[in-house]
Structure 1
Amino acid sequence: MALLKDILYKVKLLSVSGNMEQDISAIHFDSRKVDDKTAFVAVKGTQVDGHEYIDAAIEKGAVAIVCETLPQNLSDEVTYIQTDNSARALGLMADNFYDHPSSKLKLVAVTGTNGKTTTVTLLHQLFMSLGYNVGMLSTVQNQINEEVMPSTHTTPDAVQLNELLQKMVKAGCSYVFMEASSHAIDQERMAGLQLAGAVFSNISHDHLDYHKTFDSYIAAKKKLFDDLPSSAFALVNVDDKRGMVMLQNSKATKYTYSLKMMANFRAKVLSNALQGLELNIDQKDVWFRLIGYFNAYNLLAVYAVASILEEDSVEILTHLSQIELRNGRFEQIPNTTGINAIVDYAHTPDALENVLNTIDNIRTGNEQVITVVGCGGNRDKDKRPLMAEIACRLSDRVILTSDNPRGEEPEQIIADMQKGVPVSQARKVTNLSDRKEAIKLACSFAQKGDIILVAGKGHETYQEVKGVKHHFDDKEVVNEMLNLIHNR
């Protein structure tokens, strides 16, 4: 319980009608969750406008309504608060209601098109191994130390987010590392949070179904850094040409990292193999269990964050070198066939190119690279031909298949991808909309020593078709098919 007037601290109020001294038991922006003594916040979402559900919320027991446009008929038993931005108000109210949890720990946000999940996961594992109680908010899962809580969005809604942070405070967490998606930043889900720092990894073609233009996508990422307080740090990858853009107008203490140019934190790739990476970081040669140049950036970012947070450099590198991730990011699937099978979450052109370039760098040249890839439905269509072109350019065989088709027909998505297949490469491409059959075909093509890449879903254990999520795990299917075909 909290007083309505206290929950509204820092919210911009345009008008107030009713009792501000009453107790509030919960905050909701979904009218279906409303109960007695609830404050209902009418948020204009991408699909639904919460203002249309104000009456329904009142019928279910809402005693306070926060909205941008007041209803024509006001109830004498309800308090109405008009604000200029309901989404931002929701974030601020949630922060107040849960007693400002982010101010009681060090919260570090990681943003960028690729690398968010790996960086956050590495930070979580590193700081746990350094002896801290640590929270994590990621695409794959939310965690308090080893306790796992399922995740449905890259960044939870503002109420869930503050509720989780409060749990982390109560569990004694000193640090929390979170992914900050462009959607969450744009939708003010992080409003009211007090960040200790923010990290920018990179930016490439993605989410234009939502942001419409690349400039809007960049602006959403930049907002995270613009809003940082002077007490926070901002760490950016300057090998991405937009890294320095993120630092413009930021009040935070600024740091940079790079594999290619002068920066506060630098690393050099000494070797890159299927067994791992050897990097020179801070004049020390260290072997890591992760693979690929993109993971060199992730490891360097993690080292930089830990250094900024005043951890000992030798301790950081010692613990970091022992971490092995199993999160669907360049995850090798153990098997007895002699075939190298890799599952990766790559679902953007840049990510797919990174993964295939990594494979190209570590292959001998005598083996086939067989890529299974699709694109999600109801998402940015412009990237579909790009994904196919990259797969063709960097693979010996390509199978275009279904990813999460959602509300679209898989065959249409594949047809969109097919437009990116060069005429000269057409013979190496097979279209097969059944993802399980596509993986089976890839396994049947492969011989000992070959490399199969199954891209697009990574850690996901479902396939979303027509609004229904069906169990589907790329790792399980790859294992099943390799054994079925090669271990008879």
Structure 2
Amino acid sequence: MAGTTPGQHQPPTLARLAELAGARIVGESPSALAAPVTAVDLDSTKLEPGALFAAVPGTRVHGASYAFDSPAGAILTDEDGLALLGQTDERRPILVVEDVRRVLGAVAAEVYGHPTRRMTVIGVTGTSGKTTTTYLLERGLMAAGHKVGLIGTTGTRIDGREVPTTLTTPEATTLQRLFKDMADDGITHVVMEVSSHALELGRVGAVEFDAAGFTNLSQDHLDFHPTMDDYFEAKALFFDPASAIRARRAVVCVDDEWGQTMARRAGDAMKVATRGQAGLGPEDVTARQLSQDATGAQRIALTRGERTLEVDLPLPGDFNIANAAVAVGLAAAVDVDLAAFTRGLEQVAVPGRMEAIAEGQDFTAVVDYAHKPAAVAAVLDTLRAQSGGGRVGIALGAGGDRDASKRAVMGAEAARRADLVIVTDDNPRTEEPAPIRAAVVAGAREVGSGAEIREIADRAEAIEALVAWARPGDTVVVTGKGHEIGQIVGSETRHFDDREEVRRALTERATQEKGQ
């Protein structure tokens, strides 16, 4: 918890780490086992002399293949890694475990001095809303006078300073090192997105969470989780009383059946609701809209017990009312002053999440990260509600090397709600783009809604066509990539920013109109 005064951290010995991991030691020597370990990493190129190299299986190559040329003082690996090392003249101590990732969190936490014990740590999980909820938490906590760290999809910030990362939830070694940097920098509260992959793969092992929030669950990541039930169970690791990584307090949005099931699983969760209040107690949180302006910004009422706070939330949509309510519930769970906290919510802006792009045009242009069926539906419902009778158009695609079953569903959800659907490439990765687009188009056409369906492979051309289609009072939205600044084609990442492309298309349209 925040406020804990750390003692002088003594780096653990290799023998201590072997004991902690339950490892079998190969090639041991008394001097090596007594040596202090000050760093651990999965990347052999980032190791300092004497560090511990965690060699895990990769999608193509086992990490042990890179061990021999690394400056590591010892190696943590599995039986397959040991077999590979046995083919070399490896003489350093090798710690052998059944599953490296399952012990890596505990090992990294020990190496870096269990930094989460020195801070209040809040995690947010769910299919949609994780990023927005963490941004709401960050702004609210800062307004309440706390020094805040943030870890998530859009990167990492330490008291407002950007720190580059590549995963929603970094690997355990990176994560624990980040926590140490934050704690050493005086951070009091950390808010972080916690993905189902992170929960399933042990990335957050040994992180001592003070509170965990659940936003919602809908179809996503079924390339990784075999079924929706499996997906739910991965999320439930954060809340189940029997789980080793369960947070001390649970805050669960119960607007849907998955949330209600999660609240029952958690047992003592603070419940958050924006749709009905049946069965809620005085510790629970409810939220409702009071008014909304033409931009979608809304005044909402947040109620806990007998206390109601009114907030001017600059984010549109019912889903953002729910995100704000989860943020308030989490703040309450860690004893933050709610009056000060909610003042911070009025200043929030989330990159690539319902981000309006304005270049003086007479219609609304928005970029959003929605890349799953329920999120596409929610975004379009929100934009339709605030369109004032104007038409709504969308450009969207689906990612390659990911859950293929959601592609047609995304097309269908778009066609049910939009007047124009332009299907384009997202991040095709190593798949051929055309079949991905075809699946989305097929789902859109099957609905038979009367929406105009177009297929434009080039994403920049698709955005240009979407902007050209708009008339005064219309709304257009580009979904799928949000804050991302790269498009992954094959193994190459090319610079591409939907926000830049929308601005370019708007500027070119304005120039053409002036020349007419």
Structure 2 residue 136 is matched with structure 1 residue 122: yes
Letter in 2 for 1:310: D
Structure 2 residue 280 is matched with structure 1 residue 270: no
Is contact 1:113-1:204 (8 Å) kept? yes
Instruction: Please identify, of 10-19 and 265-274, the stretch whose mean Cα deviation from structure 2 is larger.
Output: 10-19
Letter in 2 for 1:363: S
Q: 1:43 aligns with which of 36, 52, 56?
A: 56
What is the aligned partner in structure 1 of residue 493 from structure 2?
469
Is contact 2:388-2:473 (8 Å) kept? no
Structure 1 position 10, deviation (Å): 3.1
CA distance in 1, matches of 2:264, 2:35: 43
The alpha-carbon distance between structure 1 residues 9 and 134, as it changes in their structure 2 partners (threshold 3 A), is farther
What is the aligned partner in structure 2 of residue 80 from structure 1?
94
CA distance in 2, matches of 1:453, 1:240: 26
Is contact 2:108-2:172 (8 Å) kept? yes
Is contact 2:352-2:367 (8 Å) kept? yes
What is the aligned partner in structure 1 of residue 261 from structure 2?
245
Please list, as runs of the form range in 1=range in 2, the aligned pairs for 1:147-186 lying within 5 A after superposition. Answer: 147-186=161-200
CA distance in 2, matches of 1:231, 1:446: 47
What is the count of residue pairs matched by the alignment? 482
The alpha-carbon distance between structure 1 residues 386 and 278, as it changes in their structure 2 partners (threshold 3 A), is same
Is contact 1:2-1:25 (8 Å) kept? yes
Structure 2 residue 320 is matched with structure 1 residue 295: yes
Letter in 1 for 2:508: L
Structure 1 position 116, deviation (Å): 0.3
CA distance in 1, matches of 2:50, 2:423: 52
Structure 2 residue 16 is matched with structure 1 residue 6: yes
SS of residue in 2 equivalent to 1:43: coil
Superposed CA offset, 1:354-394 (max 9, x none): 101111222222x1101111111111111111111111110
Q: State TM-score, norm by structure 2.
A: 0.88
Is contact 1:68-1:82 (8 Å) kept? yes
Structure 1 position 16, deviation (Å): 5.8
Superposed CA offset, 1:10-37 (max 9, x none): 3233556513212335323234445532
Is contact 1:133-1:175 (8 Å) kept? yes
Structure 2 residue 70 is matched with structure 1 residue 60: yes
Q: 1:89 aligns with which of 55, 80, 103?
A: 103
Is contact 1:205-1:350 (8 Å) kept? yes
Letter in 2 for 1:165: F
Superposed CA offset, 1:419-458 (max 9, x none): 2023534760110011111011011111111100111111
Letter in 2 for 1:397: L
Superposed CA offset, 1:242-283 (max 9, x none): 2243345648x5211011133311112223442411212123
Is contact 1:44-1:87 (8 Å) kept? no
SS of residue in 2 equivalent to 1:422: helix
Structure 1 position 411, deviation (Å): 1.8
The alpha-carbon distance between structure 1 residues 340 and 228, as it changes in their structure 2 partners (threshold 3 A), is farther
CA distance in 1, matches of 2:438, 2:15: 55
Is contact 1:8-1:92 (8 Å) kept? no
SS of residue in 1 equivalent to 2:73: strand
Instruction: Please identify, of 228-237 and 306-315, the stretch whose mean Cα deviation from structure 2 is larger.
Output: 228-237
Letter in 1 for 2:397: G
CA distance in 1, matches of 2:178, 2:47: 20
SS of residue in 2 equivalent to 1:103: helix
What is the aligned partner in structure 2 of residue 279 from structure 1?
300
What is the aligned partner in structure 1 of residue 357 from structure 2?
333
Structure 1 position 143, deviation (Å): 0.3
CA distance in 1, matches of 2:362, 2:138: 33
Instruction: Please identify, of 331-340 and 7-16, the stretch whose mean Cα deviation from structure 2 is larger.
Output: 7-16
Structure 1 position 462, deviation (Å): 1.4
Structure 1 position 146, deviation (Å): 1.4
Instruction: Please identify, of 284-293 and 223-232, the stretch whose mean Cα deviation from structure 2 is larger.
Output: 223-232
Is contact 2:18-2:24 (8 Å) kept? no
Is contact 2:236-2:265 (8 Å) kept? no
CA distance in 2, matches of 1:10, 1:349: 43
Is contact 2:196-2:235 (8 Å) kept? yes
User: Aligned residues: percent identity?
Assistant: 33
What is the aligned partner in structure 2 of residue 419 from structure 1?
442
Letter in 2 for 1:5: A
What is the aligned partner in structure 2 of residue 201 from structure 1?
215
Structure 2 residue 28 is matched with structure 1 residue 28: no
Q: 2:404 aligns with which of 370, 381, 388?
A: 381
What is the aligned partner in structure 1 of residue 126 from structure 2?
112
The alpha-carbon distance between structure 1 residues 95 and 440, as it changes in their structure 2 partners (threshold 3 A), is same
CA distance in 1, matches of 2:123, 2:237: 12
Structure 2 residue 248 is matched with structure 1 residue 232: yes
CA distance in 2, matches of 1:46, 1:399: 34
Superposed CA offset, 1:225-258 (max 9, x none): 233678710111111212243345648x521101
Please list, as runs of the form range in 1=range in 2, the aligned pairs for 1:392-471 lying within 5 A after superposition. Answer: 392-423=415-446, 424-425=448-449, 428-471=452-495
What is the aligned partner in structure 2 of residue 343 from structure 1?
367
Structure 1 position 313, deviation (Å): 2.8
Is contact 1:5-1:21 (8 Å) kept? yes
Superposed CA offset, 1:110-167 (max 9, x none): 0000000000111111111222111000100100111011221101111111111111
Is contact 1:328-1:459 (8 Å) kept? yes
Structure 1 position 289, deviation (Å): 1.1
SS of residue in 1 equivalent to 2:301: strand
CA distance in 1, matches of 2:125, 2:420: 33
The alpha-carbon distance between structure 1 residues 325 and 410, as it changes in their structure 2 partners (threshold 3 A), is same
Is contact 2:135-2:348 (8 Å) kept? no
Letter in 2 for 1:243: G
Is contact 1:398-1:429 (8 Å) kept? yes
Structure 1 position 45, deviation (Å): 4.0
The alpha-carbon distance between structure 1 residues 160 and 278, as it changes in their structure 2 partners (threshold 3 A), is same
Structure 1 position 96, deviation (Å): 0.7
Structure 2 unmatched ranges of 5 or more: 1-10
Letter in 2 for 1:40: F
